[in-house]
Amino acid sequence: EVQLVESGGGLVQPGGSLRLSCAASGFNFSRYEMNWVRQAPGKGLEWVSYISGSNGTIYYADSVKGRFSISRDNAKNSLFLHMSSLRVDDTAVYHCAREVGVAAFDSWGQGTLVTVSS
Amino acid sequence: QSALTQPASVSGSPGQSITISCTGTSSDVGTYNLVSWYQQHPGKAPKLIIYGVIERPSGVSNRFSGSKSGNTASLTISGLQAEDEADYYCCSYAGSNTNVLFGGGTKVTVL
């Protein structure tokens, strides 16, 4: 069974940093492209970042470019999102999602809540 | 780039069919046959129900179907059931600069 479990969320002050992790199991992690998608409280989904299976290709949404960094450790079946210069509008549940086709995310974690507040 | 446009809400009675629209531009929905749809129940993670405009993942009910015309994609739910009450999001590839766009979401209510 495919499982994605996020961790690392919490309360952080504006301007602070946080590192999210996503532990993957039940599939050959290195063969899949992975993404982070976030959802602000009571709002819709927003794509955040993409990374190819080999770490060779990375993309970011304009809203996080220059502040967030995606990475993965295929040996440990883990995906990461390092977030810095956090802003109040970065407050959201952050989901990791497996991509099985372009813009097709077939497995999602339950998410980890990031709250940016003073 | 702006999010894709969906109606805020759609409702129908059990057994009826409803259609949710997703309007983009010639830079995303209109150019790429890479539209997906997600169902999200409260407090749950999104679930992929349509990808590649018309394809249904294994295990997804055939009551869900997708289509596209020009810059607008659509999700049709036929034989509406109480369990279909949820939020639905469309998603489209938008080229290498923007990458992926989601719609604002549509709340489906079963009357």
The CA angle B15-B45-B94, to the nearest 5 degrees, is 90
More confident residue, B40 or B95: B40
Residue B67 bridge partners (DSSP): B74
Per the CB < 8 Å rule, is A104 touching B48? yes
For the segment B77-100, the average pLDDT, to the nearest whole number, is 94
Residue % of chain A over a pLDDT of 70: 99
Per the CB < 8 Å rule, is A59 touching B46? no
For residue A115, what pLDDT is reported?
A: 98
For residue B1, what pLDDT is reported?
A: 64
If you measure CA to CA, which chain A residue comes closest to B28? Answer: A103
Q: Is the pLDDT of residue A59 over 80?
A: yes
SS3 state of residue B47: strand
Q: What is the mean pLDDT of chain A?
A: 96
| Minimum distance, in Å, between the CA of residue A5 and any CA atom of chain B | 11
Q: What is the DSSP letter of A76?
A: G
CB within 8 Å of chain B, chain A residues 5-44? 35, 37, 44
Residue % of chain B over a pLDDT of 90: 93
Q: What is the DSSP letter of B2?
A: P
Beta strands in B4-95, from DSSP E residues, in sequence order: 9-12, 18-23, 35-40, 47-50, 64-69, 72-77, 86-93
Q: Is the pLDDT of residue B29 over 90?
A: yes
Of B51, B89, B96, which is closest to A101 when you measure between CB atoms?
B51
Q: What is the pLDDT of residues A73-86, one digit of tens each?
A: 999 999 999 999 99
Q: What is the pLDDT of residues A15-41, one digit of tens each?
A: 999 999 999 999 999 999 999 999 999
pLDDT band (50, 70, 90) for residue B2:
confident
For residue B3, what pLDDT is reported?
A: 87
Sheet holding A18-25, edge to edge: A3-7, A18-25, A78-83, A68-73
For residue B102, what pLDDT is reported?
A: 97
pLDDT band (50, 70, 90) for residue B33:
very high
If you measure CA to CA, which chain B residue comes closest to A108? Answer: B45
For residue A70, what pLDDT is reported?
A: 97
